A and B are shown apart, each in its own frame.
Chain A
C-alpha cells in the first residue's frame, strides 16, 4: 500500500485539517505516514500545499516527487491545477469547484473548470454548496475528504474515527457536522467509483 496525495488550497481553507483527518485515519489503519505542511508567510491568503504520504513501508522523502502523486485533492480549483506537475499518469485530480478569488488576474472560471473536466480521472465537486445544504458551511474541506474517500485505500470507519478524535475538542456539534460532511462528500462521488 502506497498513496501519495497532494493537498492544495488557499491559506485558511483548512488544508492542515484535511491532512490531519486522512493522516490519522491512515495511522489507525496501521500505515506509516509522512506529512509536510506550510507554515508562516504563505498561510496569509496565499497558495498552500501539503504533501501527505501513506505507506506500509518506511517513507524517506518528506516531499512527493513530481510526476508520482496518486491524488491531487483541491479545496480550491485553481490551486489543484497549480500542482498538476506532481500527478502521475493515471493519477486522479479531485477538486472543489468553488473558486477563492482574492487576486485580480484569477482565470476565467468556465475555462478553468472545463480544463479540469478534460483531465483523465478528474472529479469536480461543489463542496461549498454541499456544505451549505447540510448546514455545515465551514466543512467544505471535509466534504472534499469524503469525495476523495473511495480512492484513499482507507476504511470509512477510520476516517470517521479520525473526525471524532480531531473535532472532539470543538464539541459534539462540530463532530456531527463534519461526519455529515464526510458522508455527503462520499455520496456525491458514488457514481464515479
Chain B
C-alpha cells in the first residue's frame, strides 16, 4: 500500500473513502473544509459514485448523513466546531436512534480562534450525546481511526464522533494507506421502529444507549489508540490527549519521556488506565488541546487526593491552543530564546481583497447611514465581517450564522429605526431565510443587505446553494417586490448605491438590497482554470 503526504483533513477524507462510505455531507468551515474538497477531487470517490456535494448548512448535512445511514449505507458528515451547534438537534437525537449503516461525525475545533468566534471543545458534545469519540494525535491516526470508525459504529449501533483541532487539520505528514473496505448495499433497519423517536420508543432507545455505556468504556480501556507508557520517574504521571501527545514527545526529542504517560485518543476517558497512572505516581499533569475536559473529570468537584496540574491551576494557560513551548514550561524544561521580536513590528490583520465588491458596498453604506450611525448595522459570518475593521468600521456585530437578520429584527423591535442587517449569500441560505420570514411576518422595519458574491468566499470559494435564487427566495418569503432592490457593487455605481440604500433605510417595513457581483478571487481562479484547460 502506498504512502501519501496528507493534511490531517485529507487523511480523514481518505480514511472515509477507504472506510467504504457512500456519501459525505458538509458545509464549508475552517478548519474542516478540506475534508470534503479532497473527496470531491478524488478519482476513487468518482468511480465509487460517492455522494459529495456541499449541503446548505450543517443541520441539513447531518440529517442527510443520518438518512443514508438509515438506508443501510455508510456516511460521514464534516463541520467546524460551531457547525455542530447548528447540527446539534439531529446530532443529539442520532445518539438515540442509533445507526444502520456506519455514521461518523467529524468536527474540527479551532482553539486560539484562528478563524472562529469561539474555541468550544467538541469532546463535550461527544460526552453530552454519550457516544464514543476519538481524538487522533497525528495524520496516520486520523486516517486509521476514520477508516475503522464505520465498523465500530455498526458494531455498537451508534454514531461515532471524531474530533480534531486546527493544527492537525492543516498540517501534512506521510500517511500509510490500508486497503479499501467495501461499500454497503441498501437495507432498512432490522427494527422498523428504530428511528421513530416517539416518547414510548425513544425511552427504550435511550435505555439501549445507556446500556451501551459500559461497552463504550471497555472499548476505550482496551483501545489501541489509548496507551500506557512506563516511566522511571514517578514524581509525575502525564495524561496527554490528541496532538498534545506530540508536543510532549517533541520535548524529549522523540526519545523516551522519563515519566509514565497515558496517551488518549479514544473516549470515554479510560478510567482504569488513568487509575493505574494515578496509583503509581505522586502527581498528575494533564495535557489537552482545548478545554480541561479530562482534567475536570480527574479532579472532580473537590480535588481530593494527589495534586492534578493542567489548565485549571495555571500550569498551562486556561485558553488558546497548546504548543511545544507551553508544554515544555509545564514540564519544567527551559528553552533558550535566542532573539526577541523588535517592537516596531506592526500587526497585519486580514483585509478585504483588492477589487472586492464588499468594499464598494461598505463605502456606500457608510455614506447612506452617516446620519444614523453604524451601531444599528448588524452583520454576520464571512469575508464581509472584515468590514468591522478600519478603514470601514461599518458593522457592529458578528455572532453566528444568520444572526444579522434576526438581531436587526430584535433591534427594530426594541424601537430603533432604521435597523440594518449585512449578510452574505451563502450565510443567508445557511440560516438567514427563517429570520427573514420572522421579519416579514412582523413587518419589522429592517433593511437587509445581501452581499451576493456567488461563493462561500472565506473558506476558499465553494459554490453556494443559493446561486441565482436569492431574489426569488426573498419574494417567496413575502418581501414586497418593490422593496427587493438589486445593484452591482462597483465604484462607478457609488451614487446609485447610496441612493438605493437611503430609500430603503427610510422604508418602514422589510426591505432587501441585493449587491450582486462575483467574488474577485473566484473570478480569477476560474479564469486561470479556463486558461489551463485551453492549454491542455
A interface with B by C-beta (< 8 Å) = 10-11, 23, 27, 32-47, 51, 57-68, 78-79, 81-85, 87-91, 102-103, 105-108, 111-112, 115, 119, 169-171
Contacts and interface: CB of A to CB of B under 8 A. Distances in A.
A39 B170 contact: yes
Given A42-B115, A60-B247, A88-B338, 19 more contacts: A23-B172, A33-B174, A35-B171, A36-B172, A37-B172, A40-B31, A41-B114, A44-B351, A46-B348, A60-B246, A62-B246, A63-B324, A67-B336, A67-B338, A78-B348, A85-B341, A90-B338, A106-B346, A111-B344
Given A27-B5, A60-B250, A78-B346, A44 B114 contact: no
Contacts of B114: 38, 40-42
Contacts of A45: 348, 350-353
28 contacts: A10-B348, A33-B174, A35-B171, A36-B167, A36-B172, A38-B170, A39-B31, A39-B33, A40-B30, A40-B114, A42-B114, A44-B350, A44-B383, A44-B386, A46-B348, A58-B254, A60-B254, A61-B247, A61-B323, A61-B324, A62-B171, A84-B341, A85-B340, A87-B339, A102-B348, A103-B349, A108-B344, A115-B342
Nearest to B333: A65
A35 B254 CA distance: 17
Interface of B: 5, 7, 30-31, 33-34, 114-115, 167-168, 170-174, 243, 246-247, 249-250, 254, 323-325, 328, 335-342, 344-353, 383, 386, 458-460, 532, 535
Contact of A82 (B33, B325, B341, B352): B341
B172 to A, nearest CB: 5
Contacts of B459: 40
Contact of A34 (B115, B171, B347): B171
A81 B325 contact: no
B339 A42 contact: no
B488 to A, nearest CB: 22
A34 B345 contact: no
A80 to B, nearest CB: 10
A67 B335 contact: yes
B33 A32 contact: no
Contacts of B342: 81, 84, 115
| Binding site secondary structure of chain B | loop
Contacts of B246: 60-62
Contacts of A111: 344
A124 B133 CA distance: 49
A185 to B, nearest CB: 24
A37 B6 CA distance: 12
Contacts of B254: 57-60
A23 B7 CA distance: 13
Contacts of A88: 336, 338
Contacts of A82: 341, 345
Given A37-B171, A65-B328, A66-B337, A46 B243 contact: no
Given A38-B114, A40-B115, A67-B336, A107 B171 contact: no
Contacts of A79: 348
B410 to A, nearest CB: 27
Contacts of A102: 348, 351
B250 A61 contact: yes
Nearest to B255: A57
Contacts of B328: 65
A36 B171 contact: yes
A63 B323 contact: yes
A47 B347 CA distance: 8
B340 to A, nearest CB: 7
B338 A63 contact: no
Given A67-B336, A84-B339, A89-B338, A34 B352 contact: no
A38 B166 CA distance: 9
A64 to B, nearest CB: 8
A111 B338 CA distance: 21
Contact of B170 (A37, A61, A64, A108): A37
A169 B532 CA distance: 8
Contact of B348 (A23, A38, A103): A103
Given A46-B348, A62-B243, A84-B340, A41 B458 contact: yes
A105 to B, nearest CB: 5
A35 B115 CA distance: 19
Contacts of B340: 84-85
A11 B350 CA distance: 8
Contact of A87 (B247, B338, B535): B338
A171 B338 contact: no
Most A CB contacts (10 A, CB to CB) among B170, B174, B340 go to B170
B115 A171 contact: no
Contacts of A60: 246-247, 249-250, 254
Contact of B337 (A40, A64, A85, A171): A85
Contacts of A36: 167, 170-172
B351 A46 contact: yes
A34 B349 contact: no
**A-B complex: 4 closest residue pairs judged by Cβ atoms:** A40-B30, A40-B115, A46-B350, A61-B250
A65 B5 contact: no
B325 A65 contact: yes
A169 B41 CA distance: 15
A136 to B, nearest CB: 17
Nearest to A41: B115
Contacts of A51: 171
Contacts of B386: 44
B174 A32 contact: yes
B118 to A, nearest CB: 14
Contacts of B335: 65-68
